[in-house]
Structure formats: structure tokens, C-alpha cells
Structure 1
Amino acid sequence: MDRNQARQRHAELDAQLHHHNYRYYALDAPEITDAEYDRLFRELLELEKRFPELVTADSPSQRVGAPPLEKFESVRHTLPMLSLSNRKDKEEFREFDAQIKRFLALPEAEDVEYICEMKLDGLAVELVYQNGRLITGSTRGDGITGEKITENLKTVPSVPLVLQGNPPGLLEVRGEVYIETDEFQRWNRELEENGQKTFANPRNAAAGSLRQLDSRITAKRPLNIYCYGIGQIDSSPPQTHGELLKALQGWGLRVNLAETQVVSGVQGVLEYYQSMLGRRDALPFEIDGVVVKVNRRDWQNELGEVSNRPRWATAYKFPPRQAVTVIEDIQMQVGRTGAITPVAHLKPVEVSGVMVARASLHNWDEIARLDARIGDHVVVERAGDVIPDVVRVLAEKRSGSETPVPLPESCPACGSAVAKLEGEVVPRCQGLSCPAQLKESLKHFASRTGMDIEGLGDRYIDQLLRLGKVQSVADLYTLTREDLFEFERMGEKLAENLLGAIESSKQRPLPRFLHALGIRHVGQHIAKVLARQFGSLEALARASREELLAVHEIGPQVAESVVSFFASPRNREVLEALEKSGVSPGTEARRAGGPLSGKTFVFTGALTRFGRKEAQEMVERLGGRAAGSVSKKTDYVVAGEEAGSKLEKARQLGIALLSEEEFLEMMEKESRQ
């Protein structure tokens, strides 16, 4: 494909992907499957990889994020992003309605037409489109000035980079970025399992995600948006707010028309409020009330604002979801990676119409902050379907019989030693065969990047556990044909294939074996580093923390995790059982020495003579290392065609530059020495 053909195909893919994003996010009516969308997207990425000049600021590929910023710029909103007044009950809302009528000189008996929307619990943002293209995105800030977060907002899939139809030349859109409840729970569980600080609620998670200086981090967060209004517009807007929302949807913006309703008078608002209050827990996202707006836009303009709040809109808030109860016990819960988290068992109490008997305490730092003890009276708060949180201890109600909860010294599931690694907020079980972790350990051990036991997937692992056939990964190598014939739908050929795959896995290389063991913080790359440095499993098992820290790329977390893993008696038993079963990962050529020892290479641009992985392996075979970014510690930068910022930085730092040919000559020369 030549450049002209590539440019034409890229334009076609660009248009198709923007159209399908519009169908999926704005209309909730996709025309193609996710798999077909992914195929088109991959084709676009491949074209942009071969022809980087095709990349534009509004290409669908730009949702992956950009290099980190040093700080956010300030953005002044053309029209202020006003906050809303709050109403907490019927009488306060009736007073709001009366104020509207007095200001507009309407008869008391006349019903004002209102439009009611859900009040999402997220972060308000502004999107500025010029000639249909997103040029600026910002936070609300103080309402007058916000922070420029354009690159972060570009990573949100439901934020259109290009508008549809015939949008105004200038359009400033206001919306709320949020995270759905299920996604929030899943993400918080991952953070907890990885020993990282969790978020208190979806709103904090959304706000923290949008304020990342590195938009590549934001791109990994499960953010979404609903648009609810406009700032400046260079054409005549529709006459009602309801019509405006439909126009926004027609231009490709995501609007929640399904849950928005035009009603008549106070009674219509109260009915909508009660309906949403009853459906609150069934919604896929958090709402903390409803927003009520005068529907006619000419009346909105006439009503204006007061004290930086619009007279024509208000937030009718839901009652808080809190209750007071007693912590009857605090029990330990072991997660799939060994993370041990405390869960408060409560005297059952009704919160927002649901009986609550458990609440999360997250970790021991949180227990210390709350000073929570067994027997305490506490305030619990429920948010949607998320497990309730203990938000406050009522210390004034203590009798003196309350019991503190110490950090556990052993795993409640298997009795193995517990370690709290540096930089983490949760203690972890160090047992390789802990039953609470066993299923995930088996899956990881058998995975393609681990021991690559073909055919040993979830279905068979579940049956192994149900039948009690395995208590550790070592038991996989003692399975017999008779064991497998107890499985559902297990035939002669399947059993033969699975046993053959298990047998074949016994001779995997040391890096694969180390990765398969699931040692905390030891991924594929670090496993390779450790294997080449220490050469054998026995040498690594004997390594001290200081010896590990002396290895390039090994930090305190990895060092402590490795030492802790091999110090566990149960883990040593499993390793011995693996050895007795014939699992022999062998040895690796040690990295020490080599003609490129201590040298760091960075590869940039389009490489035509070799792939990046191939180049990395060439460097590592000779004792060097390949890095992903240029720094003062870089020795050589190998530049292919159309190299960009890395090449420029190398020139600024005076780092030696090599062409692909020069690099290959160097490799050949050093190999002969």
C-alpha cells in the first residue's frame, strides 16, 4: 500500500470509527459487534504505525493518552460554570417554585414546565468544540477558571473527538464525568489486591483520574460522561432545554434522555423525585438527587443568576444513606493475590431500605485512622451496591470493653506467614498453596506466559478444586488418568492431551518458571532479569535482600517479596514437591560480564532490519539492557525511520546515535570478542 492509498483508507477508517462511537455512546444503538469495531481500530493503528504522518489530533487512536505534563494550564470559562442551590425536602422545593413564579410574575395557580434530570455524583467538565472538533477540555474549577485537561478527556471513550451532523462553529458543552458502580468496585478490588490505596467513592475516583498529569494513566480508568448543558454557542440554540439535549445527542454527545423527563409543576417534580429515589439502587451509577430546571430557555435567561447560582435550576437532594450500628466482630478476608483485608461484621441495620450486616474497613491504616474496635458504635454509609463503609467511630459511646484489632501475623485461611511489604497498605499471605488463592495461582501457573499447560483452563481447574485433587500447583504433576476421568465430559483423548501438556511443561526455562510461581511483583521481565542474574532457582532462593537490591531494575518491593517468598516453609515444600515430580527449569547464562555489560540502549522510530524484541534480545545476550525511554544513563539510541522525540532528546543530551546498520555492525563485532 502506497501513501496515497494509506491516506484514503485512513480517512475511511477514521470516519467509520467516529460514526460507530456515535452509535454506541450517543444513541446506545451499535451497528456492529465489539469484535468488528476492534478489527477496524487495529487496522487504523497499523496504518498509523506505518505512516505516522496520518495521525491527527482527533484520530480515534489518540484515546491512548499523551506524554506526561509538568502541570495543568489554567482555562477561563467564557461563561461561568455555576453551582446549584440545594433543596432537601418538599417544602424547600415548593419555595423554589414560588420564587420562580414571583420573579416571572406568573399566577400562583399556573404550573411551570420543568425538566428533571438525575444528579450524577461525578466531576463537572467543559468541552469546547470548534468547527466540530474538540479543541479544549477543562474542569469546572472555581466556576470562573478551571484546569486544562484536554488530553485526559480525549481518553474517555464517550467524549467525541469529532461531532456529527451539522454542529455550530463554536460549541461549549458542559457535562459530568463519572464511573459506573460495577467498574468502581472492580477497580477498587484491584487496587486493594495490589496493595494500593483505594478510593472512597466513585466521585473521588473520577476526579483523581481526570487530574492525572500523565493522560496514559487516565486512559486506563473506566471513565464515562453525560452531557447536560452548554456555555457559549455561536448559533441560535433550541427554545427549550429538552430540545437542547436532543440537539446535543444529534451532534454526537452522550445525553441521558432515557432518564430525563419534562414535567408540569411541583407535583410533576415530586413524582419524578420519588420515582428516582426508588430506582436509585438499581441504577448503574451513583446519583445523589435530581436536578430541576425551568424548561423554557427564554425564561432561564430572564431569571438569570444570583450569588453565582442560577435562579432557574436547583438540586433536589436525596436523604443521606447513613445509619448508626455496632461492630460485633472484625474478620479477615483473603483475596486472590493473598491480600488480607479487614471486614466489619455489624449488628444488622437498615440503610436506605437495605439491611446491612457487613462493612469494609479497607486496611489497617484505615482502622488506625478511624480507631475502630470490636464493640464500637459506628456510622456506616451505603453507596449503591458497593459494600458499605464505616465512615466514623462514635468514641463518646465507648464503655471500655471495646477490643482493638492487631495486624495479623498468620494467614486466616492457611496459617502461612504474613508480610506487609514496603510501600503497600495491606498485609499479604506468603503461602503458595493458600486455599483462598489457589484457583488464581493455578490459572496463573498454567497460563501461556507461565508453564503454558495447554487445555488447563477455568473449567478443569474448577473441577480439580471441587474434587479435591490439588492443594498446590505441585499436585498438577501427580494427576493420573483415573483422576481426570472423574471430570465431567472427559474422554480418553482429552485426558491424554492434558496429561501430555502437563508433562511437557516440566522443562520450561527458568524465567518462565519464576513468572509462573506468581511471586509478588515478579512479572515476565523481572523474572528474566532475576534468572540471568542468579542463573538458577537455588541461587535465587539463597539471595539476600542486599544482593537483590544490587541488581539493576530490582527495587525494595521486589527484593522484599522475593526474600519473603523463599523464606516461607510451605513455599519451600511446594518447590521440593515440584522438583520430585521432575519439574526442572534448569539454569540460565548469568548476565555478569559480557562485552555490553553496563550499557543501555534505547530503540526509536520505525525499525526495518529487525524487530524491537529481537534487538532487545541481541543486547541482553551480550550483557547489556534495553530501556524504553531516554535519560542521562542511556549509552546508545538506535534510530529507525521517522524517529521523533526520543531522537531529539538524545541529541540534546549528547547521547551516541546509531543507525540500524551501525547497531548490527556493533552486535557482530562484540559477539566475536
Structure 2
Amino acid sequence: MGNVNAPAENAVSAESAGTAGRGEVPPAAPAADTDVRQRWTDLAEELEAAQFNYYVRDAPTISDAEYDAKLRELAALEEAHPDLRTPSSPTQRVGGTYSTEFDTVQHRRPMQSLDDVFSLEELREWALRVQTELDRAEVGMTCELKVDGLAVNLLYEHGRLVRAATRGDGRTGEDVTLNVRTIDAVPVQLTGEAVPELIEIRGEVYFPVEAFRELNAALVEAGKAPFANPRNSAAGSLRQKDPRVTASRALSMVAHGVGDVRWGPHGPPQRWSSMTDLYDLLGSWGVPVSRHNRHVTSLAQVEEMIAHYAEHRHDVEHEIDGIVVKVDDFGMQRQLGSTSRAPRWATAYKFPPEEVNTRLLDIRVQVGRTGRVTPYGVMEPVLVAGSTVSQATLHNAGEVARKGVLIGDTVVLRKAGDVIPEIVAPVVDLRDGSEREFVMPETCPSCGSRLAPAKEGDADLRCPNARSCPAQLTERVFHIASRGALDVEALGGEAALALTDPEAAREKVVAARAVAAGHGPVPDEDALEAAEVELPPRQEPVLATEARLFDLTAEDLRNVKIWREVRQGGRPTGEWEQRPFFWTQPKLRGDGTVREAAKPTANTERMLAELDKAKSQPLWRVLVALSIRHVGPTAARALATELGSVEAIREADVERLAAVDGVGPTIAESLKEWFAVDWHREILDRWAAAGVRMADERDASTPRTLEGLTIVVTGSLEGFSRDSAKEAVLARGGKAAGSVSKKTDYVVVGENAGSKEAKARELGRPILDEDGFVALLDGGPDAVAELTQQP
């Protein structure tokens, strides 16, 4: 999706550039009016949902191109109205969620993303900005193929591979060490000279195209379903629980940067000043580096490489979706710096998407976690950009009308960025008169509530029945279990559906039985009603809201059944039956007596144990699990650290909430609105009664040395990451601010501090180095005063 898979590591330090020059609020910047704020809210919500569906559900809802366009619009709004920008905004983080199958590990340096360009004009504008900021007519650069694989972070200590992790959200990822060790291209031990004491090597794991074809051929021959595309198969192979499965796949890897580096007493080698030096050094250690990398000195050479691989992209040994351009010199990289999510010294030119034609069989709608109702197209399956596609989003009814798409049309299907399918337009010349218009439903397909825009003029329709709409409830329960919230294993999408809407497939069953009774391919209402009467009574769901989730027992789940289609030889028969979901079927003897009684399945026991374990998760995770709009991990951590309990957050007014660093007015208003709803309070009360943590215990051993003080930390510190420095301030009662103002008490300056240091000097605010920061944490302002008085 967009740029989340692009290599973007600073060869010196992914954090070193900080956010110099960005995130500062210009004094004259206008505050956002209501319409602008609402547009920001809608965009942020849609982008967050798109990331969730793409990474967690493997069910993309918008195209890559649409995602990029909306992200750009959101960034433009925040540029014009800085008061809208929050740390949880999609513009401020590297999206990405990860599997629940592996332990979470923290990268020593964050893995950043890349900003994308989609035309030569945009590329030239980027190059001109670089030249202008560096005051140089020519800037040496590296051109690299943008590998369409899975980003990994390899940690070597004294030359030995000790950990391998996926990118995850950029800060934390999945520990896949055992699986990565099976990849022949990844050295377990670095060889050669000048090997550092510690280094994070970033790269892309990929499935070679030829090996992928051979694997799929073998799967088909064995009667198994083939993989959709090399990238998905690489990701799936790397996430296998059994490393022997990974070892059986011909995965490879190519390095494209480094994160943290600690050289030791011998220091860095003589040639350690550029990306070119880095790649030479990596190669000398036995780390695979792309043979397609080029060093260039002009934009014409960059465009030449783009033109060549645009024509020969399928001649490369791995899938690619663009060209990455990086400033070669490390010193220039530091001078250009980074935003919070991407370096300014690199960009990714994205190739135009590939397109095919297919027939649009139907347009249906789905209901998301926030009630947004989205039309999507159901198409004849077609192979495009390496994968078979049968569904694609249509965003909203207005978009369907704008594109002029009719059910039955032959449509142009595009896979933007080779990832997400999008219906572009109909092929009008191929119409035969049988096509029909799509009519947006007036009621929610899940609960029957009348649909309406959230406010007048909104393009999207929403289901207002947030409390008990089965579709919304299912999505919220699934979100509670996600890795970014309470991390409840065995509570996946199917289990969430069984808990909240076990009759979800009933309409399909009714239609199938009516057809089987001879009422034609489209049975009338009488036939459907007759088939409905023949079925068992509808089940009441175990959960009517999230409130009872942590009260569930195995006995509560004994009678939950779901509809499954009967299959023979792996093929559907058109017959349906109800089967227990959380319990096993009793096993009978030949005479009909019970040989083995029904019992909870192993997954059910694991789910209940995980729910019990989740009760002790820290407060910030509970806040994320509540599905409060805009409250993601960043804001939740800040709220939990500063206010300490759900009760304190609920009682705080908007001004107090907005004053919490990382929250701001938009999130503060959202919090107050959420706590004002009766059934939301019921959720909190039931969870608290069940033992879910509603307050964090404050560590009495941590002195509250910074009460009432506002601290800004800028640049790279040796002993602190950006997050750990922030948490250290918050834990001692201080406010960790993101920008310097007259109200700032201290500015802690590390390497490559940038404009915040200049601002602090301009305003005459006290400036501390890292030693001063440690003294401030330990003893407060008095300790700093003593430090400055020492000879």
C-alpha cells in the first residue's frame, strides 16, 4: 500500500535527522474551520480503515493510487492547518500491522517509509528541492530497483545474526529469526574486515519469479491452490510457524540500508561516507546487494534507468514496482534530514499500474467498523499484475455514478502499485443493453437501520446503529483482539463473527434451498419465506455489544453454531448445514450412543485463556481496544502516562485532554463524545468488573522531578530513542512537547538537532545536552543548576 514497503533507511541512523523543519506551527497558520476539520476526520478515518483492512484482514478496500491521493490531500490539509496534525495521523506514521503468530520485537532504530512520486515532473521537483537545499548544481545519487517483497531488519552483534524482524509498524515488528536463518542469501556470520560490534541491516525478502512459478506448478500438480503472487507467497513463507516450510521455499534477500550501527574501538572504516561505500562494505561482508544499483550524477541518468526498467520490469529476477532514488553522501543526507515518517533525501518513483478488462457481475456493499457503507464490485476472476482478482472497491455511490459503471459492464481493472485492485471505468462500446444501474441501499444490509450521511454534504452513507449493528460489532470485536490493541490470539475474524452474528450466512442458505426446491436462479419472496420456515430458529448472538466479552465462559459458547457449505472432494455442493464453532461434535458409536462427549475446541480454550491474560494489558492498550475515533497507540500511550486511569481521562475536560502531548483538540473532542454515550460506559463498567485493567500503577520509585515542566527533545541521543526519551519525561510528570515555544522549560539537544535548536536559541530557552538531560531526569532543575556550576 503506497510507500509502506519501500526501503528508506538512513545509512548512518534512521533517527538522526529527527523531524527538523517539520511539525512546527507557524505563528500565522490559520486554525481549521468546521468543514476543513470534518474533511480531515473523514480522510484520516478512511486511511486508517484502509491500512487495517490491508494489513490485518488481507482484504484491501481502496486502491494504492486512491490511498496515495487521499494521503496527499490529508498532508496538504495539515500543512495549511497545523493544528490538525496529530501523532496518530496517517501522515505521521509508517502504517503496518503484523501477524499474531510471532513475538513482537522493537527495532533499535525505526524503519522509515518513503515518499512516492508518480511522474517525471514530480521527480524533477523533488530533485530541484534537494539541489536547492544543498546549494549544489549536481548531487550524486544511487538508483535502486524498488523490490516488491517483505521488509526485514537483521540485527548482527559481533558479526553474528542474533535477530531478524519484519518491519511491522516501523518501530516494532515480528521476530522471524528462525525462518530468516533458512534463507541461503542471508549470512548467519558476517565475514571480512571492519565488521562492527553491532549493526542493523535492512533489506527486502523476496520470492524469485522463476522459483515462484516452479512452486505454483508443483502446487497445482499436487492438487493444491497456487499462491496469488510472489510478494504474498514471500510474506506467507516468512511467517510459517515451522521453519522447515520456509526452508523449502526458494526465498532470497537484498540489502538496501542500515539502521543502528556501533563500530566499537576500531571506529568506522576509511570509506564510510556514502550509500556507495555502504553497499561495497555490505558486499564485502557477504550481505547480498542488488546488482542493479547504479551511481548517477544527473537527473537524466535517473530518468534513463526509469525508462529502461519501465520497459523491462518483468525481465528482473524479482517483482519490482518502481525505482528508489537516494542522495548518495551521508553528510548531505543529514543536512536534508527527515520527517517523522520518511527521509527527505530519498524518494520512490512508482511505475504506472497495470490494467486488464473483466466483467462486473454485481455491486454489493459492506459495513465497516465505524458504520461506513462501501460499495464493492464482484467480477469474473482475472489475473492482473501477478494475482487473481475477483473484487474491487467502488468507495461510495457517488463514485459509482461518477465512473458511470453499470452491473454487467466490461470494466477496466487496475492494480495500482501491483497490490490493490481498482475499477477504473466501463468499456462503453462493449455494452449490449443488458446492463443495469446500481442502486445504493437505503437500509443497512447487516441490521436494517436507515442509512444516512454523518452530516449534510458527506459523500459516504453510514449505519447509525453503532451499538448493535452486527457488522460494526464484529469489526470492533476483531479490533479488540488485534496486535495493536489487546493482542488476543485465537480471536480472529471467524470467531468474532461467530460471537456477534452466527447467522451471517443464513440468507445464502435460504436462497440456496429455494433454488434447490425449483424456484429458479432468483427465487421470489414467497419461495424465500418458505425456505426460511424450514430452517431452525435464528440464534441470538452471544455478544450484543463488546461489554460481555471478558465474562465469556466455555459454557456460554456451547451452542453457538455457524452455517457452512457442505463440500465434497473440496468442491461446494450447494447444500448448507449448521456446525458448532466453539465446541466439538459429540462422537457416536454405531448404536447411536455417545462415545465421546462434545467439548470446547483447543482454539476455544486458547481464546478464553488469552482473553483472561488480556485483562492485565496496560491501560494504553485498553484505550486502543475501545475503538475511540482517532485514539491510536501514540495518543493512548500519552493519555495513559499522563492521566493514569480511565476515570481520570473520563473526568478531564477538553482543554485538559488537549494539553496532553500527542492528543490535541481533535482527539480530545472525540474522547469526550465517546465517554458521553451510555452504552460505552456500560462497556467500561463490565470490563472493569471482569478484571480488565482500568488504571496503570505508577512506579513509586520513579521521582516526579519534572512536575509542571515542558521538555522538548530534538536530535539523536546515544542513550535514548525518541520514544524512550519521551516516556522518561512523561513518567516523571513532565510534558514532552513536540515544538519549541516561550512556554518550553528545557530543550534537550542531540546530534543533528536542526531548527528546534535554532528556535530555542532565538527564544532564549535553556538548552541541555544529553548529560544535562540525565541530570534533569534524576534531580530536576536543581540538579541541572548544580551541573552548570561545576568547573
Superposition TM-score, scaled by structure 2 size: 0.41
Q: Which has the higher contact order (CA 8 A, sep 6+)?
A: 2
- Which is higher, the Rg of structure 1 or of structure 2? 1
